[in-house]
Amino acid sequence: MSHKQGVRYELAPAPEQTILMGSHAGLSRLVENFCLETVQKKWAQRKAEETYGVTGDDLTKVPWSAPALEREWRAAHAERFPWFAEGKMSSRVRKEACRVRAAGFSNYLKSNKGERKGACVGFPTWRKRKHGSRFRYDADRAKPLDARTVRLPAIGKVSAREDMSWLTSRMATGQARILGATVREQAGRWWISFQIEVDREEINKRHQVADDALTCGIDLGLKTFAVIRNSDGSREAVHAPKPLEAAQRALKRANRKLARCAEDSKNRAKAKQRVGRLHLRVADRRRDFLHKTTTRLTRTKSAIAVETLNVAGMVTNRRLARAVSDAGFAEFARQLDYKADWYGCRIWKADRWFPSSKMCGDCGRVNQGLVLADRTWVCPDCGVLHDRDDNAAGNLLAAMLADTAA
């Protein structure tokens, strides 16, 4: 059975290749902004025509789709951007930029009509240089030639800092194929992310969780990232590295130095790259911790009970926003979902209003007076002393077992 997933590798481009990759990132940004400008102008023209009484086919057509946006670019670039043809830039980057914009317009229109699930999507905004350098290739235009080399159209053969044999070996046997590739720059380093369709049957079977493996309930928190109560009565506490909190001192100093540098100076560019490297390290440490934790859980537990957290609502609390974002609760839940599907683990999610922390695990009484500062509490009915997090994990496990039995 094939699965869609992404794999990322760091590139080691030569200086001239770095310049070309930066030019293609600029081209992608330019085309996206051109598409946005075109849609805004034609939409405004159409609205004006409607006020004049123009109807039907006489109204200006708005190019919402990718093919329509590509036609607009082809008609305009010879006069407005003649350097595109002269510079031998990859046409695939331009094509993908139009598709990205078209997808953004589609999401906005569907969300506006109530046809799209999830949070409301706003109208696409301008892409700026500070938003990061990236560009895309469609299909397998960009692909690895061997374990250490990637071919990028209009750029050439680029060396990779990481071994890609996991991907190249599966491509050689037909177990994997590339659907697209995104090249991105972060803190002066370049990465390529391949979107692939891969047959994971052999991999998943090798790491399949045993049918008689333990089940568990997991309570997520800020002081202790996860408290795990297993079905055999054992308990485990998982502590997060809190990378953003650990990097606060270095980030303050780096940002202070950046603020003191003159605009457009070389020292400012160096200071900005220093800040970027610190943020990249924070993100890498968080990602490494979440992947290792979710992989271990889904490979060793037959079923996992978790709570449904309103993370978007939690970050609106200015006193907790940084800590909640540093923990990565939403990413933890996302990784649990798809890895459980890979390894045969079952994820049971409690209702958002399930009183896991407030309910006594012995008698079932709900303590409505419990507040966030109460880390331990005594049940008024049965007198049992509860640790808030351990009690919540036990209640989640019990609710999952009761639901399964029913």
- List pLDDT tens digits, range 104-124: 999 999 998 888 887 888 999
pLDDT at 33 over 80: yes
Nearest to 99 by CA among 137, 52, 62: 137
Highest mean pLDDT (candidates 87-91, 223-227, 401-405): 223-227
pLDDT at 274 over 80: yes
Q: What phi, psi does 320 have (nearest 5°)? A: -115, -10
pLDDT at 147 over 80: yes
pLDDT at 326: 94
Question: What number is the average pLDDT over the span 37-61?
Answer: 88
Q: 360: pLDDT confidence band, cut at 50, 70 and 90?
A: confident
pLDDT at 40 over 70: yes
Residues 62-116: pLDDT tens digits? 999 999 999 999 999 888 888 887 778 888 999 999 999 999 999 999 998 888 8
Question: What number is the average pLDDT over the span 174-188?
Answer: 93
Give the start-end residues of each E strand in 315-405.
346-349, 376-378, 385-387
Distance CA(381)–CA(362), nearest Å, equals 10
pLDDT at 275: 94
Which has more confidence, 337 or 59? Answer: 337
pLDDT at 297: 95
Nearest to 301 by CA among 219, 220, 214: 214
pLDDT at 216 over 80: yes
Range in 26-35, 76-85, 181-190, 305-314 with the lowest mean pLDDT: 76-85
pLDDT at 30: 94
pLDDT at 57: 81
Distance CA(343)–CA(330), nearest Å, equals 20
Question: What number is the average pLDDT over the span 383-396?
Answer: 88
β-strands 235-238, 226-230: how paired?
A: antiparallel
Nearest to 277 by CA among 249, 247, 256, 257: 247
Range in 45-54, 288-297, 304-313, 377-386 with the lowest mean pLDDT: 377-386
- What would you report as the CA-atom Rg of the chain, rounded to the nearest whole angstrom? 26
What percentage of the chain exceeds 90 in pLDDT? 67
Question: What number is the average pLDDT over the span 316-343?
Answer: 93
pLDDT at 323 over 90: yes
Q: Give the list of residues 6+ apart from residue 305 with CB closer than 8 angstroms, or none.
A: 215, 216, 217, 218, 348, 349, 350, 396, 397, 399, 400
pLDDT at 369: 82
Question: What number is the average pLDDT over the span 328-356?
Answer: 92
Distance CA(73)–CA(128), nearest Å, equals 19
Q: What is the pTM of this model?
A: 0.88
Strand partners for 138: 180
Which has more confidence, 243 or 371? Answer: 243
pLDDT at 1: 67
Which has more confidence, 233 or 248? Answer: 248
